[in-house]
Amino acid sequence: MLPVLLFPEQALGKMDHMPMPTLTCFNADDIHGKIGEEISEDIAYRIGRAFGEYYASRSVSIACDIRLTSEALNQAVPSGLRDSGSDVIDIGLCGIEGIYFAVFHLNVDDGIEITASHNPQDYNGMKLVQGCARPISRDSDLTILQHLAENNAFSSLQMPGSLVHDALLNAYANYLLDYVDSTAMRPLRLVVNAGNGVVGHLIDALNARFQADQVPCTFSKIHNRQDGTFPHVAPNTLLLGNQADTASTVFNTGTDIDITLGDNCNRCFFFDANCRFIDDYYILGVLAWALLCKHPGSKIMHSQCYTWNTIEILQRASGAISQRRTDHVFIMEMIRQKHTIYGGEIISPHYFRDFGYCNSGMIPWLRLIDLMSLAGRSLLDMVDERMAAYPCSEKINYSVAPNEATLEGVFDRSPPPPPANGGGSC
């Protein structure tokens, strides 16, 4: 079990005005690091204080996932925010998309989620967003926040901000139900694997709403109990070894679709009724087609890893195509700038204009079961033709050693570069 109290010798408030070395928990588009080495309660307090002072935030929504160290960090960050004068609204346990929803639903200035996403169990961190759920990264202000937290030279404040608790579980579940036409839903059997992550209680809430509205969907839940020790699988649903429980349940129960969710609900993966893992390449195509049927001529954004199948589908549906580099925060910002209706990239993030241009792990599967009902087709049927036309392997990783020898072998097999002056025939 991971410790709850981190760096006890650095109790909050004991190190005021003392600078610290470079904080290695600041990354390209979020904050995460190893507990006890790269991130602690004191560091979390400084980040909260730096955040509140730099943005002069009047109100900040904050939430956390179910990692064993999240609650301690979720007390330190609000302390820093309140000492900067910010009012804090703690919405409790939820995934990162819960914070996106809170920012535009509550109309607060900013939001912070305590999470390490799909990093190992002994890590933790934060994802930061500004008003309208705009992400904060190195391309915006993350480096400035890092320097402020390192310098630890904050102004004194006479009146601290307030702290209130406002769980948005029911409000968010109601919001998500708008993505399905409950009156047209045909009977479907769903397997939902929450991976013991933070999304379990949201799945329960949606299941209850479906039953109350007599939506004919049957939920089979796997690892739905929230447990920060992650007793069954590591908090990374992309790893093939973490998908065995889901595949076996699909095989044994004869379900129509499986939904495997990331531990903080920012990603989702699918199996069809034949236990076949469906690459996001094809899910992106299905969702893009469905949205373009409702909104002809709209813009669809995808990363440069998703090409032939996606481009053909968009051309058929007269959709505008926009390719961008694979980068979570970059794509979120570009979707907003281009007013793109939908976007997707490798390893599952799906972005929706109607969800504040943010990514969601819940909206994709709700849209899929809605489409399966309206079209009267199975997921297998919807992707089979595309998989045959544009086959692709799953992501395959290799460990090689020594690296120098491997690179030399690649260079030996590669064609020579063109002349420096650009000469040569076409």
CA distance 150 to 362: 36
- Compute how many other C-beta atoms are within 10 angstroms of the C-beta atom of residue 158: 5
Token pair in block for residue 268: 């989702």
Catalytic residue check, 117: yes
CA distance 169 to 400: 46
Element (H, E) at 249: helix 244-253
Q: What's the one-letter identity of residue 166?
A: D
- Closest C-alpha among 400, 418, 419, 396 to residue 409: 400
CA distance 72 to 107: 26
Helix axes 280-294, 379-389, angle to 10 degrees: 110
Spell out the SS3 assignment of 115-153: CCCCCCCCEEEEEEECHHHCECCCCCCHHHHHHHHHHCC
Residue partners of 284: CB distance under 8 A and separation at least 6: 302, 306, 310, 344, 350
Token pair in block for residue 373: 């009902």
Give whole-number Cα distances, 138 to 27, 45, 267, 392, in Å: 8, 20, 22, 33
Among residues 84, 117, 137, 348, the one annotated as catalytic is 117
DSSP reduced 3-state for 381: helix
Q: What angle do CA 205, 211, 217 make, to 5 degrees?
A: 100
Strands 257-261 and 188-193, bridge-based pairing: parallel
Q: Which residues are catalytic?
A: 117
